[in-house]
Amino acid sequence: MKKETGNNLRELGYFASLGISVALSIFIGLGLGLWLDKKFDTDPVLMFVGLGLGIVAGFSNIIRAGKKGKNY
């Protein structure tokens, strides 16, 4: 019974950290895009590219977590 409880807590921790993972991927993509915009003087273009890539990375984390949840 204790092993089962430990597995449940580990799964709960994984899914609880999902929101932080999504937010971090979006903010990292946005920050990278802003930094590249300043470096190459392309004002909003690379910011939107970085933001889009961050959103895609965040949603891929959600999809991976959903597939992992179906296994349990």
C-alpha–C-alpha distance, residues 15 and 72, integer Å: 12
One-letter amino acid at 20 equals I
C-alpha–C-alpha distance, residues 32 and 70, integer Å: 33
Kindly indicate the confidence band of residue 72, based on its pLDDT and cuts at 50, 70 and 90.
low
pTM: 0.82
In the block, tokens 């991976």 appear at: 64
In the block, tokens 């889009």 appear at: 52
SS3 18: helix
69 pLDDT exceeds 90?
no
Q: What is the mean pLDDT of residues 10-29?
A: 90
Per-residue model confidence as pLDDT tens digits over 28-52: 999 999 999 999 999 999 999 999 9
10 pLDDT exceeds 90?
no
| pLDDT for position 52 | 98
